[in-house]
Amino acid sequence: MTPRNNSLVTTVIWDFDDTLVDSFNARLEATRYTLTSAGIIYPTAEAFMANLRGSAIDQAFANIEAQQGKPLDLISDYRYKYWGKAPGAVRLYPDVEEVLRHLVSLRVKQGIVTLKRRNFNFHGRPAGASLELQELGIADMFGALLGFEDVSAPKPDPEGVLSVLERLGSSPEETVVVGDSLSDVLSAKTAGCRSCYALWGVPPNERRVEESGADIVAESPLKLLELPFVSLDRMVN
């Protein structure tokens, strides 16, 4: 399906890490701890993170274990370090909260599709994207949250986007998907939504603007406020 570029927008679906939430340093530190503990010199934590963009971390660590030829349970070490992070290690990007609250005031529907697990118990304590949303004080701004465990095929497959659309009661042609990776853009396009390539969390040397084919390229979350938003309430009235 091809979205209508001039149609009104009633719904925004967000990616989580590197789009809404700046968790990069916390994830980098957890990755460094994980690889060092396993005695893995290559890839470096920095290279691992650069190659990870838009991919599931569970599978990325499984690939390293396959290369090493032995089970290392890297994902458990990663989760131990990441979910034991200090308070304040994860924060919203500048202007994100302003944009979220403005969309809430317009009664625009919002959802999240993330490759991070939504909700799980780790060593007797809660963990997952839902917990971080609560800690950041923005959980009530979203009508749907889908994590890695909620889909059979993660991004770039459109399953997560289509599932959020169904939960929100939204149509693809009135929806914009915002994310920092090519897999976010592809999942949007395959679902028939407009796509926004969010650059504010992407290092300059990792930006792939020309090949993204995104409908919108945004250096700042404030760019989204230029879209023709309209709430379903207003359409009914």
Output the CA–CA distances (angstroms, integers) from residue 184 to 14, 33, 67, 220, in the order listed: 9, 28, 27, 17
Spell out the domain ranges in the chain.
11-22+90-236, 24-82
- What's the pTM value of the predicted model, to 2 decimals? 0.91
**11-22+90-236: CATH homologous superfamily?**
HAD superfamily/HAD-like (3.40.50.1000)
Give the C-alpha separation, 196 to 68, whole Å.
37
Backbone angles phi, psi at 85, to 5 degrees: -65, 155
Q: From first to last of its 237 residues, what are the pLDDT tens digits of the chain?
A: 344 556 899 999 999 999 999 999 999 999 999 999 999 999 999 999 988 888 889 999 999 999 999 889 999 999 999 999 988 999 999 999 999 999 999 999 999 999 999 999 988 889 999 999 999 999 999 999 999 999 999 999 999 999 999 999 999 999 999 999 999 999 999 999 999 999 999 988 888 888 899 999 999 999 999 999 986 554 433
Which residues partner with 111 through β-bridges? 13, 144
Cis peptide before 156 (omega within 30 of 0): yes
